[in-house]
Every structure is written in C-alpha cells, then in structure tokens.
Chains A and B, each alone.
Chain A
Amino acid sequence: AQSVSQHNHHVILSEAASLELGCNYSYGGTVNLFWYVQYPGQHLQLLLKYFSGDPLVKGIKGFEAEFIKSKFSFNLRKPSVQWSDTAEYFCAVNAKRKGTYKYIFGTGTRLKVLA
C-alpha cells in the first residue's frame, strides 16, 4: 500500500539549531511532493513543493527540502530554526491511485523550538 512515513513524531530544538525532518514514501510511479506546516491556532499551509527539475527546492521562511529518488525521501531542512518555527509539519505525496491523483499525508512531526 502507498504510504508516507515521518519517523520523528516530536522534535525539540533550541533556537539557532539546525533542523532536518525525515519523510519517506512508498510509491514507484510519478509523485509530487509537498511539505505543509500548521502553526498553533492556524490552518495548514504550504511550505514547499517538488514536481520536477532541481531536486533541491526552497520554500518559505528559509526552509528547503531535497528529493532523493533512489531513497524515496523528501527530507525537510532549515539551517537555523527560530522560536516562531514551532509548529506541526506534514509531509505529503500526491500520486495516482485508481485513476485519480490523491494526496497521502504522513502522521506529522511536532516541532518545538525553545527560545
């Protein structure tokens, strides 16, 4: 079955620390990859996306993600986190299932950044 795995459920970092959140998916066909973020009390919003081309994509607020096809991974990174990055992060794959493209979400990673 197609799935998206986020291995880190809770991450706690101090400000200025580097961040890497793992995301692995199981699907052999063409995929579109996304990271969404949900700040406390706010709606889910798009952080970045990968469709094709350069496997290193840059998103908002200094985030980036690298698509490694051979590893079925799309890890999210940020060199130096801020307190305002405290949020829940979801990896998502948009892939074709039963003739229609559908989103599959990971279970999410709660990031807490200590000031």
Chain B
Amino acid sequence: DGGITQSPKYLFRKEGQNVTLSCEQNLNHDAMYWYRQDPGQGLRLIYYSQIVNDFQKGDIAEGYSVSREKKESFPLTVTSAQKNPTAFYLCASSIGTGSSYNSPLHFGNGTRLTVT
C-alpha cells in the first residue's frame, strides 16, 4: 500500500542537540510538507518542497532545516536554535502545488519529539 512513513514514532533528546526526523513516501508525489501540531494551535507549516532539490520556508521555519535530495524523502532537522522544539511533527505529501493545486494532503502518523 502507498503511504507516508515517519520514524521514529517517539523521540527524546537533550536540549542543545540537533535531531533529524525521517519522512518517506511511496506515493510518487512531487510536493512534501512538514507541519508542527501543538494543542489549540492546529497545524503550522514549517517547510515545504515542490520538487527535488528545492524547498521553501513555511510560517515557522526558524530553528528548522530540511533537505530534498530524493523525491521520496524529506527529512526535517530540529536544531538547537529552535526555542520550543517539544511538539508533534507531521509530514505530508500531495500530488503537486502547481496544476494540481487542489490535491488533498496525505499525512504520515507523526513523530512526537520531547526535548528535556
């Protein structure tokens, strides 16, 4: 079955350490996204990528970095510069953001990151 795989499900890190969250999709989607979900704040866009080797900042990109070296992979690094990194992180994909602008998002199961 096609889908989005996020790993790990739970992640614990010490303050000051960078951590990378994995996101892989086998849907052959061009666009991929990273969202952060906090209680009462909905989903906020961190970064998105429309094609390989290209990505753009979302609404809350500070303290995060991404790469898109392969179509199926879009890892997110939470750096030590992120002031409040403990959150639930969701990866998503869609067919594209150009001509298929109305294509729905497909989500992974998320990674819950706890930084102490």
Contacts and interface: CB of A to CB of B under 8 A. Distances in A.
Nearest to B91: A43
Nearest to A44: B107
A105 B43 contact: yes
A21 B4 CA distance: 28
A45 B108 CA distance: 9
SS of A interface (majority): strand
A28 to B, nearest CB: 17
> Which of A9, A45, A49, A94 lies at the interface centre, i.e. has the most chain B CB atoms within 10 A of its CB?
A94
Interface in A68-96: 90, 92, 94, 96
Given A43-B110, A44-B90, A103 B105 contact: yes
Contacts of A6: 42
Contacts of A32: 101-102
Interface of A: 4, 6, 9, 32, 34, 36, 42-46, 49, 51, 90, 92, 94, 96, 100-103, 105-108
B43 A100 contact: no
A94 B102 contact: yes
A105 B42 contact: yes
Contacts of B105: 34, 36, 44, 46, 92, 103
14 contacts: A6-B42, A9-B40, A34-B105, A43-B110, A44-B105, A51-B102, A94-B102, A96-B101, A100-B97, A101-B97, A101-B101, A102-B48, A103-B33, A105-B35
